[in-house]
């Protein structure tokens, strides 16, 4: 059975993985922005970052 994590536990785990993996430390991601939406009231920017094979949904605060 899969573990159930709190949001805080998940954030800490992902942060640890990103900071401890030499290949991911200070990583920059390059891709095409699509599906861009700006919510003027909150200032949040939502978009998809993609390349020829994959995509990642993202948000900027």
* Pick from 39, 37, 31, 38: nearest CA to 56: 31
Q: Name the token pair of 51.
A: 């390349």
Q: Tens digits of per-residue pLDDT, 1-52?
A: 688 999 999 999 988 988 899 888 778 889 999 999 999 889 999 999 999 9
- Global model pTM greater than 0.75: no
The gap from C-alpha 2 to its chain's centroid, in whole angstroms, comes to: 22
Residue with token string 């390059």: 30
pLDDT at 19 (0 to 100)? 87
| 8 Å CB contact between 13 and 22 | no
């Amino acid at each position: 059975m899969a573990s159930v994590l709190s949001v805080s536990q998940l954030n800490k785990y992902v942060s640890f993985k990103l900071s401890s993996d030499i290949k991911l430390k200070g990583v920059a991601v390059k891709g095409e922005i699509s599906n861009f939406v700006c919510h003027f009231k909150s200032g949040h920017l939502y978009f998809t970052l993609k390349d020829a094979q994959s995509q990642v949904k993202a948000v900027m605060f």
